[in-house]
Structure formats: structure tokens, C-alpha cells
Structure 1
């Protein structure tokens, strides 16, 4: 029964996405395949865009595309690319231009000089994929992701304006062909301070979606995926300290999962790395949501446990309490995430949102079995959980429940 309900939900999404694609029929270029050519990644991206919020989908083939040897994207350019994909949403595969406010890129910086540098870096950075030549032989294809861009020129001291860009045909082809995707959080993407951590975050989110939480890669493949220069961190101890340890600490703090890795040696040299992406349980999910909502200025200190304790000032006598007013009747909940249901998730409108999450992320386990385990783990804390924190906590628990137990 659970599997039938899950299929019904998936089919509903397919119908909505089919209608959305049909509205764009007749477009040229990559869109010649019509609705049948629109991959699952773009249908999910369109759904998340309609929902709003900080979550967005990055197509799997864009996550896995490797850098050309000796090239990589800086942290700021990687963030800009993520914002471009978020903004384009379900239309990223279309042969059209996309627009983004400069203010959404600056994040508090007053000037727009850095935007020019980021755009030019995206234009000149090359990516590579395996392909065949005109003779049918194995070949490496090199390409960029941004075809053209426009930046509005400011008049006077005005700090407003927009940028506009088009993805290259190669980028749109990869986007359209992607049947898998990584669901990422905008605040997490903007919160990373290491470009390597951000790239590993994308890899982990992609593999968790595929239900493949383990990624085993040799050192050449790891360098190509993360964009580590061949002449940089030649000693593995340096790579461990400067890349892996830093990435692990940031991901554990900002992502919806934890990162673990194991070094596989041949002789004395490290030949491969086995990464494991472990979904966080409900309390850890809540801590992550809280951290993403806090200012980034003290994030490193909080991560390293160096936050200073500030003594509270002397207590000021509280004024006399005002006379109590008659209580009004409580308004009906405006969101399904006002509180966790007390009974079965199978029935009722208010339980629908929780039911959908359990079907989608619970791996086929009975939704009420997962709900009972969730109530038991959360205990009294569940009564005070509301809104986005409750939604993310419940989703994270369903993912972790399935990850620990496998399919029923």
C-alpha cells in the first residue's frame, strides 16, 4: 500500500511537470525533444521553485562534471554558479537567458567589482567529460558552462542592477540529461568558507539522493572532482589537513548529513579515499537549521568550541505585571508544520505533509513505524518544534531511519 501511494505522488508530479513543459513546446535547440526530454532533475527543480524556500536541485551531471587539469572554480565563483542554477530552476535546460539581481550576489558587500571577476572566471573555466571523436575513438571533450553574460552598468553611485546570462549548449545538454540531482540548501551553500567543502557537499547530497552513501575514488579522480591543482598538496598529509579535515568540519556543521572518510593504502601511499555520507538524526538536524539561521561571523568559533561565555548583567527588577486579558480562541494552524501529529499519519488533511515526506524519504518503511520511532527519540522536545525546523527534522529522521535499516 505504501508503495502504491508513493507511485501516486510521483505520478502527480509527473502530470504537473508534463503540463509545464508543454507550455514551452516549440522552443528551439536543446528543447527539441519536448516534454519527453525533460529530465527528472528539472522537474524537481521546478517543484522546489514553486514551493519557495532555500532548497534547490542541482542536476547530477553538473555535480559530477570534472574540471580540466589545472583549473578549478574559486569559492565565490562556485557560489555564483549555484545561485545561477537556483535562479534558473526548472528552466535551466531551456535555450533562453536568465536574470539575477546583483544585490542577491553581493550579500552585504557594497561594491559590484567582485561580480565582474566571478563572471569572467565562470566564462574562462573549462570542464571535461569523456566523449568520442569524429572517428568514433575515445576522446576528452572540453567546454565551458556560461555562453554569454550581461551586466548592467551602474549610473553614478547606484549599487543596484541585474546580471543576465545564457548557459552553453553543452551545459544545457548535461542539465537536460540528468536523471539524478542533489538537493542543496541555499544558506548552506553561501555559508561554506572552503571551495573544496562546497564541492564535497554537492557530491554527498547527490549520492544520498541515489541511496548510495559511499563514494570510493582514487586520488586522481578526487583531484579532478574537487579541482585540486596537480602541484598543490603533493604530500597527502597536507591534503588531509588543508582539504579533507576542513571540509569535514564545515559539512558536519552546515549540511543535513555528516561526512566520514577512510584512507585506502597500497604499500605506504594512499591510493583511494572512501567517503561515507551519513544522514543526521532529528536533534542534529535541528541544530543544523539553528546554525544556518545564525550569523556567520561566529560560525568558526562555534564549530571549534571556542565561543566565549558572556556573563549576564545584574538583574533589573521587573515591572508589575499588567492585568491579564481574556484569552482569545486559538486560530486554526496556517501551516501543516505547526505540530507533529499525535495519531496515525495515514488519515487526515493535516497529516498529509508528514505522510508525503515519509513516503518519499522513508525507503518503503511503514510511515507509522517511522513516526513512533521519531516521537520516542524526540521526547518532550517534539512539543516545541514548529515550522521549517519540524519539517527538516522529520525529513532528516526519515532519511536516517532508512539509511540505518535499509529497505524493509
Structure 2
């Protein structure tokens, strides 16, 4: 909860989900739809460091519905959250093993008068987490770091749930998840009567989840099928942080509109027209016209950092020297200390500069910050903690 509060103060798209909530499983035959799964994630993000407290949380409807014009679906999502049961292993009063079933949302309120003064929409929802949900949140010693844009970008509920599982295990530095088929169905909310043939489950669930995660998450996922005879009995998932170029591509994708995302994932997008095509089709092109076009294109690509001077603001460029002095240096050093696992931050920085090469000169702002953070995490995963 301290981490959640710190990320909330920082702002941005990153938020945490407590590990106990990630690992809680669905009751047999129940699951959350994609829209309700997103709403639950937004509730956790909004509650932040106060999620464990017995208080009421609130959120604007406009932050939930995104591009939809109406709010009619929000009530359905809230009702789905109320009636969905989760389960965890527990012990009875006699000391016997039991399965405990519970809800995550205790009560919710939805405003029905949504237009305020001046005709501006002002609809809000309020909710309270159940005592069981607050207990799980408070008892969590680990957490998954997730990206809000990635959560809202998934088109498969199974992909979103697997994304949470991977984010949790990567943060624990345990990038392998081995689970039997019963546990997999319970974790992802796959109905026992659905996809009885594993080939269907592979095609409809695992492959779809992998393609979305590989495109939108800060890591990639692979899996190995473990068989007993001809039947698949267990799945072993492996989650690997993306390297710096892949992290940059992910940040770019999350910043783009979701329309065309599937086509981009399948490399079915037309290439951008070259600059020359914007020039007059004539054998006698005026050199002044060419210069004018190039000048306008260059100006459109210029960044505030490049026009204001070196290091005019944090993350204008990656530091060239030691990570000790200056605004960007201190910010980069803090990320290296937090995500580098104890390795010397200047050692990681030298490896980062060598890995990126000339590409490092093209990065600035949040893209550079996220690229550096991703490299620190990948550096630790590859080398382990220093002895």
C-alpha cells in the first residue's frame, strides 16, 4: 500500500495490484467479463494506498466508460462485480482444510442524476471493498506493477488475467509459473465446460493472450505444455522483460489509438508515405520548395527538449557521465537503484549506452525513462543479484 500511495502521488499510468488479489481464484463456473475486469482494475488504481481501509471510494463515470457516450453499461458491470464469487484455501474451526468463497465489492452507489450546472456531465460511482478484499490487500507482501493503458487496451479477459499473473511474478523475480489445468482454469476464469479440447483452449485462450501481451505488456510470455501420455496436464509459463527497443515499441503502441492495433500486431499496416511524395510531381522541382518542405517536416518532428537546449528539463537525453549530478542524473540513478537489484548503477548505465548505441539519441521524455527502467529490470533478470 505504501508503493500504491507513492505511485498515486507520482501520477502517470503505472499502478499496483496486491499479490493476494492477483492470485485469488474464481469459483468454479464463474468469471469476470473483460469490461468488469477493467472496472475492478480501475477501482484498485483509484483506491490506491487507501484500498485496505474501511472507507468509501469514488470515481467519475467518465473515467470508466472511455469512448462510450452513455453510462448504461456501468450498472451492469457493478452488478457483475457484486455477484461474482472468488475462492481461497482456508482452515475451518476444527483445523480442517476448507474453501472459502467471498465477494470483493460490499456495496456500491451509482448516481442517476448525471448532469450538473451548465449541462456538464458529473456522474460518479462510489463503492466499498468487502472485509475479505481489504484483508487480502492488507496482507499482501508482493504486488504486480501494471500499466493503465495496457489494462484498458486488452481485448481478451483471459489476456488481462494472464497479464496480471505475469506482472506479479516478474516483480517477485520468479518469472516461471507452473500450474495444472484445473488451477489454470480457476485463475483465468475459464468455464470447466468450455474448451474441453486442449487444442481449442490453446487457440482461443493461450495464443490470443500471448499475442496481446507481447504487444501491450512490458514483457513477453512463452509456455511449455507438460503431458501425461497424450493429455496436457500442466502448463509452464515463462515471462521475460523486453529489451530496450521492444520497450520503446510498446510505449509507442500504448500511445496510439486502438483502431488498427490488430493489423499492426499482424504487420498488415501500410507504410508511411515518403517525404518525396509530398513534393510536386515535376521534373523541375524548385530547390526552394524542397527546402521549405524539409524545414516544415523537421520543425514538426522537433521536441521541446531539442529546441530548449540540452537537459532543459528531466529526461531530455540520457546522461553521458556518472549518475550523480543534475536532475536527469538523479532521476536515472533512483530508477537504477530501485530496479537494478543492487548492481552498480553506472555499470548498468554503461551497458545501456552500449546496447542502445545511436538509438539513444532519438529518445527523450517518458519514452527514455521507461526504456531505462525496462533495461534495468532486464539486466537484473539476466544476471541475477550480485553476490
Q: Structures share a fold, TM > 0.5?
A: yes
Q: Which residue of 2 aligns with 1:175?
A: 137
Distance 1:224 1:293 in 2: 33
TM (norm. structure 2) is 0.89
State the 1:289 CA deviation: 0.2
1:153 equivalent in alignment to 2:117: no
1:208 equivalent in alignment to 2:170: yes
Pairing partner for 2:202 from 240, 256, 262: 240
Q: Which residue of 1 aligns with 2:361?
A: 383
1:359 equivalent in alignment to 2:337: yes
**1:26-48, CA deviations, whole angstroms, 9 ceiling, x for partnerless residues?**
xxxxxxxxxxxxxxxx0000000
Indicate conservation of the 8 Å contact 1:111/1:159, yes or no.
no
Indicate conservation of the 8 Å contact 1:112/1:159, yes or no.
no
CA change 1:337–1:236 in 2 (3 A) is same
1:106 equivalent in alignment to 2:65: yes
Indicate conservation of the 8 Å contact 1:99/1:162, yes or no.
yes
Q: Which residue of 2 aligns with 1:144?
A: 103
Distance 1:221 1:329 in 2: 55
**1:91-142, CA deviations, whole angstroms, 9 ceiling, x for partnerless residues?**
1011000111100111110111110110000000000011112222111110
State the 1:373 CA deviation: 1.0
Q: Which residue of 2 aligns with 1:14?
A: none
Q: Which residue of 2 aligns with 1:79?
A: 38
Pairing partner for 2:373 from 395, 398, 401: 395
Distance 1:335 1:148 in 2: 45
Distance 2:153 2:114 in 1: 31
Q: Which residue of 2 aligns with 1:130?
A: 89
Q: Which residue of 2 aligns with 1:315?
A: 279
State the 1:154 CA deviation: 2.8
Moved over 6 A (4+): none
**1:134-157, CA deviations, whole angstroms, 9 ceiling, x for partnerless residues?**
222111110000000000003679
State the 1:351 CA deviation: 1.1
Partner SS, residue 363 of structure 1: coil
Unaligned stretches of 5+ in structure 2?
281-285, 296-305
Distance 1:302 1:137 in 2: 53
Distance 2:170 2:127 in 1: 31
CA change 1:319–1:216 in 2 (3 A) is closer
Distance 1:350 1:382 in 2: 15
Q: Which residue of 1 aligns with 2:146?
A: 184
State the 1:160 CA deviation: 3.6
Indicate conservation of the 8 Å contact 2:159/2:209, yes or no.
yes
Indicate conservation of the 8 Å contact 1:67/1:128, yes or no.
yes
Q: Which residue of 1 aligns with 2:158?
A: 196
Indicate conservation of the 8 Å contact 2:311/2:328, yes or no.
no
1:373 equivalent in alignment to 2:351: yes
Distance 2:207 2:329 in 1: 41
Distance 1:260 1:297 in 2: 26
**1:348-381, CA deviations, whole angstroms, 9 ceiling, x for partnerless residues?**
5531111111111112222111111110111111
State the 1:336 CA deviation: 2.5
State the 1:308 CA deviation: 2.9
Give the alignment of 1:213-362 within 5 angstroms: 213-309=175-271, 314-316=278-280, 318=289, 330=308, 333=311, 335-362=313-340
Over aligned residues, Cα RMSD in angstroms?
Answer: 2.0
State the 1:346 CA deviation: 3.9
CA change 1:283–1:332 in 2 (3 A) is closer
Partner SS, residue 229 of structure 1: coil
Distance 2:78 2:178 in 1: 33
Partner SS, residue 233 of structure 2: strand
Distance 2:321 2:65 in 1: 46
State the 1:159 CA deviation: 4.8
Pairing partner for 2:26 from 67, 89, 95: 67
Farther-moved stretch of structure 1 (175-184 vs 363-372): 363-372
Farther-moved stretch of structure 1 (158-167 vs 118-127): 158-167
CA change 1:329–1:135 in 2 (3 A) is closer
State the 1:305 CA deviation: 1.1
State the 1:80 CA deviation: 0.2
TM (norm. structure 1) is 0.85
Matched length? 362
**1:31-66, CA deviations, whole angstroms, 9 ceiling, x for partnerless residues?**
xxxxxxxxxxx0000000000000001000000000
Distance 2:67 2:86 in 1: 31
**1:177-213, CA deviations, whole angstroms, 9 ceiling, x for partnerless residues?**
0110001000000000000000010000000110000
